Amino acid sequence: MYSFRGVVVGTITAVVAVAAVATPASAAASPPAPYTALSIDGTPGSWWYQGARVYDQANGSTFTVTANASDELKFRADQGRDYWNFVLAPPPGASWTADTSYDLAMYPEATKAFIDVVHGGSTCYEAPGTLNVREATRDAETNALTGFAASFVISCYSSYSDLRGEIRWNSSVDFVGASTDVMSHNFGDRLVGSPAVTKTITVTSTGTAPTVFGTAGFSTATTAYAITEDTCSGTTRSSGETCTITVSASPTKLSGEWTFLQLPDNTAPGKRMVQLGINGLDPRTVGISPTVLGFMDQYIAETGAPRTVTVTGTGATPITYGTVTIAGTDPSSFVITADTCTGATLAKDQTCKVDVAPKPAGQGFKSATLQLPNNSLTTPQTVSLNLSGVVGAKGTYYPLAPSRIMDTRTGNGAPKAKLGPNGTINLQVTGRGGVPSEGVSAVVLNVTVTESTASSYLTVYPAGQSKPTASSLNFQKGWVRSNSVTVAVGAGGKVAINNFTGYTHVIVDVTGFYTSDNSLVYSGRGLGGQLQPVPPLRLFDSRSAWGKKLPGGYQLRAGVNYGAEANRRMRAVVLNITAVSPSANGFLTAWNGEWPAPDTSTVNYSAGSITSNLAIVPVRKCYDCEWGSEYPTFGVYSLKETHVIVDIVGFIDDGTLPDGLRFNPKAPTRIVDSRIGQGLPANLGHSATGTVTAPGPVLTEGTQALALNVTAVTPTANTFLKLWPNGIGGIDQPDVSNLNLNAGEIVANAAVTQIGPTNQFNVYNRLGTTGVVIDVVGTFWLYPGTASGPAARSNAGSTSRSPYTARDMPTPDVVRK
């Protein structure tokens, strides 16, 4: 993309595909002096290339020109809906002087003239460039600028002289201009050796002064093109006069042959250029269908279903084939199962077939080519073969761009009404917001309540099942509060959302999903990601890093570094994000940081609060970040001014890093309620640490981490909770927080924590005494296909997982929306 001031302009289309800008064969002669006109000519390959154009009164153009006391000149030319707008100013304190050349700048500089150019709303960074002033007439009494003539060239910080032209206002200085009736011509597909075809190009003199033409030729040495007629070379053409050049073309080789017809002249660019193209075809031709066999994901060492390549003769000259083989990078990953092409001679409309089956020889992408040697000019003809050898996708995670799938305020996904006491909504989640219709075991949702009439809680659980003894989001009357909820998908691809009491609006955004089988391997989505837990680490805290808040309307942009291999394969980061002391009610949005931000929220906060939420945030390569594209990058946008804290507890890989964990969802299951002595003997006191043992029924084979919903209940002081594994070497109590709340509140937050060798994890309370409630919503288990050693056969956690460790982290920056 080219980025121009004020606009973003898409990639320039190849010039052979650009529509020609026609000029009449007999253009009207230019009006007499004094001249008010604009001549424009772009360079092929530049940001503006639409052929030479002239705007004057003869072709119905209108002009708006003003000059102020400091010689700033505003010049606008309109022709129908097309317009150009120029702003020119001499160096500060100077006046325009005739016969003077000025270097150009985008902003006023002591020794440079200023220029700003807009065409139809598009522009570019005009520098470097030059402006040659040829005339500057003034009022004898006021010294005001009354006439102006100049030529210019600007380069838009490219290697081209992108735009050249002439400006005239009440000027006696004439100018030279010329245009062609086409900018390019494609002669199309032609058989090698076939008779030549021709194209006549008309050239028109469009300036006020005569155009003097040199000798026409081609920009490259070519045998495919020839000039057969030429009334332009060596001639002089007055304004409105035309001449023609006829070019013949006949391909001399296969594929495309491209060149420029060049006609030198005395205009500012110095020549007319018309791009010419022709594509040579083999007289012995066939149709091959398909030309690419993409088998997508296939199980390693298993022969998959074969696919057929059909070869059909299409030319008048028969073609004969030799022995068909498979070659290339990974030929052993493919097998020819049937072949009627070897030794066949195909006349027009005759066919032969080759069947190829996938048989991956290893994990990852494998490619090869089916080669069909023959007696044509194109030998061997090839068909690309590719597959991805995988060991299955069940339990992998697919991050999504956040998408709103329910909002009771608008009727999106549910009736347009608040959810009432013990009311339940069965929300369709599969087939919406990027979630597939099938093959989904669980979804990751960001659930928000607003306008609640009473203190209550939501329970989110699989539709069609009994409501469990669990809570997903606790809130007080009038709160706007969010929580990340991972929930198994129930009957019909739905999840149930139940409100305990009162009335409240409910908003649901989907941010990702886990797979239930291998069906998505063949859907085009590829292999999902695995969880790579890391020692909990505080990535950023604006209070200590900046000593000031993240301004409203800005994005905190941060990169992470867990080593080159992990960085390269990272898809998302698992973060706990906290807003501290916001200046007003608002929200945080976490995403990959690429504008525009999604129309969703991650953390909803109120003025003066401390509010946290867990989020699995997609990352991207950042090509405009100071730390470069090697570090996975994410962004956190805030609507209002607030301190921001970001802790990391893991990341999602691409499914191939060693020792990744996959997910097994569960209906929410309560394992801790300190108020009744379940899981912890009593409520946690000041600076107290409790150890929780995950009960056997919630664990699966190879479980090494748990997906939890953690609730702190009515603490006696403002406090925070933190979780970390018990008994894993190298992971001590981290300097992070999982849940922040004020005295007397009931607040829930999602959490992910590893468990140690005895299936234990720790819970720490900072201040006061608080009740602790913990529900398990799923387990993460070591997948044998990527395990670095024998996969665990028990349900015990690891003592020596050797997680990825943080390297030097790039310093976060701030980006305005």
pLDDT of residue 47: 63
Q: Give mean pLDDT, residues 608-635.
A: 93
Judged by DSSP in three states, 53 sits in strand
Q: Give yes or no for residue 675 having a pLDDT over 90.
A: yes
Residue 25 pLDDT grade (very low, low, confident, very high; cuts 50, 70, 90): very low
Q: Give mean pLDDT, residues 717-741.
A: 93
Q: Are 445 and 537 in contact (CB under 8 A)?
A: no
Query: CA-CA distances (angstroms) from residue 110 to 89, 94, 152, 325?
Result: 12, 9, 19, 70
For residue 667, give both structure tokens.
């209906």
Q: What are the residue ranges spanned by the domains of the chain?
A: 30-174, 180-281, 286-389, 397-522, 531-656+807-816, 661-786
Looking at residue 45, its amino acid is: G
Q: Give yes or no for residue 735 having a pLDDT over 90.
A: yes
Q: Give mean pLDDT, residues 336-346.
A: 98
Q: Does domain 531-656+807-816 match CATH 1.25.40?
A: no
Which tens digits make up the pLDDT trace of 757-806? 999 999 999 999 999 999 999 999 887 677 775 443 344 445 445 568 88
pLDDT of residue 681: 97
Length of the chain, in residues: 817
Place of tokens 């020549």: 271
pLDDT of residue 12: 25
Place of tokens 């001590």: 732
Place of tokens 């109590």: 733
Which tens digits make up the pLDDT trace of 148-170? 999 999 887 766 667 889 999 99
Q: Let me know if the fold of 180-281 is the same as that of 286-389.
A: yes
Residue 7 pLDDT grade (very low, low, confident, very high; cuts 50, 70, 90): very low
Proportion of the chain above pLDDT 90, given as a percent: 75
Q: Give yes or no for residue 277 having a pLDDT over 80.
A: yes
Q: Give mean pLDDT, residues 484-503.
A: 96
Beta-carbon contacts of residue 793 (< 8 Å; ≥ 6 apart): 701, 702
Q: Give yes or no for residue 741 having a pLDDT over 50.
A: yes
For residue 388, give both structure tokens.
């991805």
For 760, counting Cβ atoms within 10 Å of its Cβ (0-12 exposed, 13-18 middle, 19+ buried), the class is middle
Judged by DSSP in three states, 311 sits in strand
Q: How far apart are the first and last CA of the chain?
A: 19
Q: Are 122 and 49 in contact (CB under 8 A)?
A: no
Q: What is the DSSP letter of 14?
A: P
Q: Give yes or no for residue 182 having a pLDDT over 50.
A: yes
Question: Worst-scoring range by mean pLDDT, 141-150, 251-260, 317-326, 447-456?
Answer: 251-260
pLDDT of residue 10: 31
Identify the CA nearest to 371 among candidates 361, 381, 362, 363.
381
pLDDT of residue 22: 34
For residue 714, give both structure tokens.
């009515």
Query: How many angstroms separate the CA atoms of 815 and 810, rounded?
Result: 15
Looking at residue 184, its amino acid is: S
Specify the DSSP element, H or E, that contains 443: strand 440-450
Which tens digits make up the pLDDT trace of 807-816? 899 999 998 8
Q: Give yes or no for residue 507 having a pLDDT over 90.
A: yes
Q: What angle do CA 788, 793, 797 make, to 5 degrees?
A: 75
Which tens digits make up the pLDDT trace of 642-668? 999 999 999 999 998 989 998 999 999
Specify the DSSP element, H or E, that contains 566: helix 564-569
Q: Give mean pLDDT, residues 498-522.
A: 92
Query: How many angstroms separate the CA atoms of 422 and 428, rounded?
Result: 19
Q: Give yes or no for residue 321 having a pLDDT over 60.
A: yes
Q: Give yes or no for residue 30 having a pLDDT over 90.
A: no
Query: How many angstroms separate the CA atoms of 817 and 807, rounded?
Result: 29
pLDDT of residue 362: 62
pLDDT of residue 392: 78
Q: Give yes or no for residue 276 having a pLDDT over 50.
A: yes
Identify the CA nearest to 436 among candidates 513, 374, 375, 382.
513
Q: Give mean pLDDT, residues 506-529.
A: 88
Considering the four listed CATH numbers 2.60.40.10, 1.10.3720.10, 2.40.420.20, 3.20.20.70, the one that applies to the domain covering 180-281 is: 2.60.40.10
Which tens digits make up the pLDDT trace of 411-467? 999 999 999 999 999 999 999 999 999 999 999 999 999 999 999 999 999 999 999
Topology classification of domain 661-786: Jelly Rolls (2.60.120)
Which tens digits make up the pLDDT trace of 295-307? 998 866 568 899 9
Query: Beta 381-390 vs 292-299: how paired, if at all?
Result: parallel
Supply the mean pLDDT for the chain: 90
Q: What is the DSSP letter of 333?
A: G
Q: Give mean pLDDT, residues 259-274.
A: 93
Q: Give yes or no for residue 126 having a pLDDT over 80.
A: no
Question: Worst-scoring range by mean pLDDT, 19-33, 105-119, 758-772?
Answer: 19-33
For residue 285, give both structure tokens.
């031709």
Q: Give mean pLDDT, residues 128-153.
A: 94
pLDDT of residue 191: 87
Q: 286-389 maps to which CATH number?
A: 2.60.40.10
Query: How many angstroms separate the CA atoms of 475 and 460, rounded?
Result: 14
Q: Give yes or no for residue 121 having a pLDDT over 60.
A: yes
Q: What is the DSSP letter of 770?
A: B
Q: Give mean pLDDT, residues 605-623.
A: 93
Specify the DSSP element, H or E, that contains 545: helix 542-545
Q: Give yes or no for residue 20 having a pLDDT over 60.
A: no
The three-state (H, E, C) secondary structure of 174-216, written as one string? CCCCEEECCCEEEEEEEECCCCCEEEEEEEEECCCCCEEECCC
Q: Give yes or no for residue 24 having a pLDDT over 50.
A: no
Residue 28 pLDDT grade (very low, low, confident, very high; cuts 50, 70, 90): low
pLDDT of residue 297: 83
Topology classification of domain 397-522: Jelly Rolls (2.60.120)
Cα 60 versus chain centre, distance: 44
Return the exposure string of 133-162: e unless at least 16 CB atoms fall within 10 Å of the residue's CB, then b: bbbbbeeeeeeebebbbbbbbbbbebeebb
